[in-house]
Amino acid sequence: MSENLTQAALGIGGNLGDTQQNLINVISHLAHQLDIEVLQVSKLYKTPPWGKTDQPPFLNACLLVETSLSARALLEKCLDIEQKHGRVRAERWGPRLVDIDILYFGDDVISEEGLEVPHPRMTDRAFVMQPLADISPDKVISGKAVSQWAEDLHDDAIEVVLENDDWWM
């Protein structure tokens, strides 16, 4: 990779098919990109559905990556990977095979058509902040450390499925 590297956090999740294997496949796909290095992976969490609650529970995790891509190019790569792994965007907050969100991109604040960084709703979602706290506890988002967001949003309905950060290998 080039010298201009940015650390970014990605949130991944899904609730259809063999969800754990789908997430493993997505992480592996990301890890094999020449312009993305997976630095760390959170524990794997089982989480209740959010927004639209009449669907199966989700599995969620977060990744810390380093990339030479711009935020827009990283988003496009994530959307391409989602599509290659069967993602169909049929219903907002609906069931899905895989989902990849850019949670933060360095310290950049971006508000463009189709790209908002930091992710605008992540500090409302325990299913994002709990796994993000595994890999980036001291990162400050909206004036507060991720670990504090995770503690404030703690949800007993969120269960750790796999403790090891190498569950995807």
Distances (CA, A) of 9 to 39, 55, 57, 99, 157: 10, 26, 22, 14, 23
The residues carrying an active-site annotation are 87, 96, 99, 101
The alpha-helical segments, DSSP class H, found in the chain are 19-31, 71-84, 126-135, 146-153
Q: How far apart are CA 140 and CA 134, in angstroms?
A: 14
Q: How far apart are CA 64 and CA 36, in angstroms?
A: 10
Q: At what angle do helices 19-31 and 71-84 cross, to 10 degrees?
A: 140
Half-sphere exposure for 39 (CA within 13 Å, toward CB): 14
